[in-house]
């Protein structure tokens, strides 16, 4: 009996150890975030992995000044860390995460954060390190109290006097742009909405995980008569060109849906999901795919113009700079692709250009890219902000967004 008890104790020990180690090594449960970079008025705004909104002045970074420099640089931590829900392999609290790229609107910065807040920030108030929110400077948070709504993953959209944000409770929230008051909230459209909404002529277009595209009135949030239902759920945020909506689905298709139609205009099946929001320019749809490729399609006919093999899944949205389509693969390679021909070149790693095994940035890239005045800005998953001169293809500077306390 004694032997048996010892055995049971050993088995219990093994079981506990196995479960804990499997949980910790197998699946990352904490949200990390992958906010892109917004360039506005010469300043870059980014959501860092530790949940801060950071304003970076490229000129100060180029000269290697200490952060934050006195020239409009700051960082702001929206709220304390959330207490951890249940078992956590890392710290005992879940940091606030930011997935959506901050949005500039009339000199203010709007951001939706994963702990369920929408913030409107004034760069000057943040630069002065004033208490948040400074109402006189147009700052607000929604909800105003310590309350939160469900996580916000997509970007808020500022249109007219309203801010629209999709939430993980499946609703769309319309907020007053000046004061952050709730104008309306829609009925739940799905279990959760992780997208950036689309607005055209007073109508919000929302794609959902259950495969619908809904049209909502921007005035009231009421559902308009037209909706579209696909065979599978939609995974990416929708993009718009004229009256056609482009969105990636879980069945590995890129759908093109003309507003008002019941059937897709065209769809294209790839080898995996079109995770990122497609980019549409001059009648061409550029879409990065998790099957390692970037595709270009005729926006109306759906004819494939070219495809480019990026070697790894493409998670971030591409950008167009003049004749170039710039794309990042998840492992951190940056490609400059000719928009017309689809031929591209990989930018070599800036520290070891001779080593083909090291990616351009040397770390994962999931956030959307940004270009401003001839420089490409990339936010990597190790919280490094990388600036690459587009013409010379060389590194201009890089800057770690990790806060001093965390270093």
Site for other proteins, rule CB under 8 A: 1-5, 7-9, 11-12, 14-16, 18-19, 22-23, 26-32, 34, 85-87, 99, 153, 191, 194, 209, 231-233, 235, 249-252, 271-273, 275, 290, 313, 315, 366
What are the C-alpha distances in Å from 141 to residues 21, 63, 209, 341, 386? 39, 34, 27, 46, 30
Closest CA to 104 of 155, 141, 153: 155
> Least distance (Å) from other proteins to the CB of residue 131?
31
Cβ closer to other proteins: 140 or 268?
268
Calpha distance 166→177 (Å, rounded): 15
What DSSP character marks residue 256? E
CB of 85 to other proteins, least distance (A): 6
> Residue 142: in which H helix or E strand, if any?
strand 140-142
Q: Which is nearer to other proteins, 138 or 170 (CB)?
A: 170
For residues 12 and 93, which CB has a smaller minimum distance to other proteins in the complex? 12
Note whether 378 and 334 are within 8 A (CB): yes
CB nearer to other proteins: give 61 or 366. 366
Question: Is the CB of 50 or the CB of 137 nearer to other proteins?
Answer: 50
Nearest in space to 388 (alpha carbons), one of 287, 380, 354? 380
CB of 155 vs other proteins, minimal distance in Å: 13
The whole-angstrom separation of Cα 299 and Cα 284 is 5
> In angstroms, what is the minimal distance from the CB of 233 to other proteins?
6
- Smallest distance from other proteins to CB 57, Å: 29
3-class DSSP assignment, residue 10: helix
User: What phi-psi label fits residue 365: left (phi over 0), alpha (psi between -120 and 50 degrees) or beta?
Assistant: beta
What's the residue count for the chain?
Answer: 407
Our CB check for other proteins shows the closer of 171 and 252 to be: 252
CB of 391 to other proteins, least distance (A): 32
| Residue 52: HSE in the Cβ half-sphere, 13 Å Cα cutoff | 18
């Amino acid at each position: 009996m004694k032997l048996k008890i010892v055995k049971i104790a050993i088995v219990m020990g093994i079981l506990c150890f196995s479960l804990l180690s499997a949980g910790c090594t197998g699946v990352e449960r904490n949200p990390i975030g992958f906010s892109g970079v917004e360039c506005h008025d010469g300043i870059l705004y980014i959501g860092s992995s530790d949940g801060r909104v950071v304003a970076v002045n490229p000129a100060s970074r180029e000269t290697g000044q200490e952060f934050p420099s006195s020239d409009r640089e700051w960082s702001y931590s929206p709220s304390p860390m959330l207490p951890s829900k249940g078992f956590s392999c890392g710290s005992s609290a879940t940091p606030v995460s930011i997935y959506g790229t901050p949005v500039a609107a009339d000199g203010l910065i709007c951001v939706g954060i994963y702990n369920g807040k929408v913030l409107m920030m004034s760069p000057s108030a943040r630069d002065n390190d004033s208490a948040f929110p400074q109402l006189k400077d147009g700052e607000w948070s929604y909800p105003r109290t310590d309350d939160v709504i469900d996580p916000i993953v997509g970007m808020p959209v500022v249109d007219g006097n309203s801010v629209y944000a999709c939430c993980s409770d499946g609703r769309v929230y319309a907020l007053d742009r000046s004061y952050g008051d709730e104008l309306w909230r829609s009925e739940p459209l799905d279990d959760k909405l992780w997208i950036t909404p689309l607005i055209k002529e007073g109508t919000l277009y929302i794609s959902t995980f259950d495969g619908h595209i809904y049209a909502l009135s921007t005035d009231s949030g009421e559902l308009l008569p037209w909706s579209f239902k696909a065979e599978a759920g939609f995974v990416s945020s929708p993009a718009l060109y004229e009256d056609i909506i482009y969105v990636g689905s879980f069945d590995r298709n890129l759908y093109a849906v003309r507003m008002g139609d019941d059937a897709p205009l065209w769809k294209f099946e790839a080898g995996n999901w079109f995770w990122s929001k497609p980019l549409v320019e001059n009648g061409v749809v550029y879409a990065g795919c998790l099957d390692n490729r970037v595709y270009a399609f005729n926006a109306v006919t759906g004819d494939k113009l070219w495809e480019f093999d990026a070697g790894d899944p493409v998670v971030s949205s591409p950008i167009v700079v003049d004749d170039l389509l710039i794309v990042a693969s998840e492992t951190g390679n940056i490609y400059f692709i000719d928009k017309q021909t689809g031929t591209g070149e990989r930018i070599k790693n800036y520290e070891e250009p001779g080593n083909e095994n090291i990616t351009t940035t040397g770390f994962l890239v999931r956030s959307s890219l940004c270009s401003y005045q001839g420089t490409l800005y990339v936010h990597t998953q190790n919280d490094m902000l990388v600036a690459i001169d587009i013409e010379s293809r060389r590194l201009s500077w890089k800057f770690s967004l990790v806060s001093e306390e965390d270093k």
